Amino acid sequence: MDFPIDPRIDLNRLPAHVGIIMDGNGRWAMKRFFPRIAGHREGVNAVDRVVSHASRMGVKALTLYSFSLENWSRPRDEVNALMEILAEFLERELSRILDEGIRFNAIGHIEDLPLFAQEWVGRAMTETSDREGMVLTLALSYSSRREIADAAQALAREAMAGKISPDEIEEEDIARNLYTSNLPELDLLIRTSGELRLSNYLLWQAAYAELYFTDLYWPDFGEREFENAILAFQSRVRKFGLTDDQITSKKV
Ligand code: IPE
Ligand code: IPE
Ligand code: MG
């Protein structure tokens, strides 16, 4: 049965784009004397719960930090297991993603992934490309600083080709060269497991995002906690540099 949506949530004021740093799989497993990989496997169930619930609520874009560029330095067995879990997830969930009208997307250096994983990522993107519901983006082999450096390279090439002048480079030029150029502004960024840092995730995009931290380990995260994050978002006043008076007069 579908998890009922909390009536306190104002569905007309949802964050358009939610990012999640899904952290704490290892600690979830260690607490139970399981191998770390068991935590990653359990984490996939939390992904299922949150993807379905966010899509049902009407969130436009959900971007999940699934594997960082830095994560390649983990023990080889763990990296291999994570790649297998990713491919299994896409293989198993693709039909459900299609049924729910979700468009699958991936950002990061996908070409770093083993071929079998790249193939599933490509297939999921192609098969869901005409879907018009929520955009589910997995950040894979992702580094925000790398993304900004890639944008700088692209702009330098445009300048060399005489398409833009270096003196006229604006914030929008950087934004349109980021991997997220087709996604709405990031409104809400969630991190689980009690860590209070961004770990090289969506640094540019998070400039004015609301941040939500929870002590829950990712495998324990679900619909209820996702709703708590949305409720927290809706209770905040986003000021974008203005004064409280300015914000109040804007509303009326
Ligand atoms: C997040 O959980 C998943 C990935 C980084 C792939 P962790 O594996 O980082 O879990 P902890 O932080 O060690 O508990
Ligand atoms: C961030 O978690 C990366 C993902 C969730 C995929 P990490 O566990 O790798 O981050 P740090 O090392 O604690 O900063
Ligand atoms: Mg971690």
pLDDT by residue, tens only, the chain of 252 residues: 789 999 999 999 999 999 999 999 999 999 999 999 999 999 999 999 999 999 999 999 999 999 999 999 999 999 999 999 999 999 999 999 999 999 999 999 999 999 999 999 999 999 999 999 999 999 999 999 999 999 999 999 999 999 999 999 999 999 999 999 999 999 999 999 999 999 999 999 999 999 999 999 999 999 999 999 999 999 999 999 999 999 999 765
CATH number of 17-143+185-251: 3.40.1180.10
Strand partners, 212: 190
The secondary element (H helix, E strand) that includes residue 66 is strand 61-68
Mutate to test the pocket of ligand 2, among 30, 68, 70 (most ligand atoms within 8 A of CB): 68
> What separation in Å is there between the alpha carbon of 143 and the centre of ligand 1?
16
**CA-derived radius of gyration, the chain:** 19
Which two structure tokens, joined as six digits, stand for 250? Answer: 């804007």
- Check if 71 has its Cβ closer than 6 Å to any atom of ligand 2: yes
Domains in the chain: boundaries: 17-143+185-251
Task: Tell me how far apart the alpha carbons of residues 59 and 101 are, in angstroms, rounded to a whole number.
Answer: 13
Chain-centroid distance of CA 107 in Å reads: 9
Distance in Å, CA 228 to ligand 1 centroid:
22
Residue positions annotated with a catalytic role: 23, 71
H/E element, 21: strand 17-21
From 193, 195, 200, the mutation candidate for ligand 1 (largest count of ligand atoms within 8 A of CB) is: 193
Q: Is the CB of 228 under 6 A from ligand 2?
A: no
> In this structure, what is the dihedral angle of CA atoms 225, 230, 232, 235, given to the nearest 10 degrees?
-150
CA distance 156 to 136: 30
142 lines ligand 2 (CB under 6 A): no
Q: Which ligand is nearest to the CA of 196?
A: 2
Closest ligand to 23 CA? 1
DSSP state of 56: H
For residue 40, how many other CB atoms are within 10 A of its CB?
Answer: 22
**What is the pTM assigned to this prediction?**
0.97
The set of long-range contacts for 174-178, using a CB threshold of 8 Å and a minimum separation of 24, is 174/148, 174/204, 175/204, 177/150, 177/151, 178/147, 178/148, 178/151, 178/204, 178/205
Cβ neighbours, 10 Å, residue 147: 25
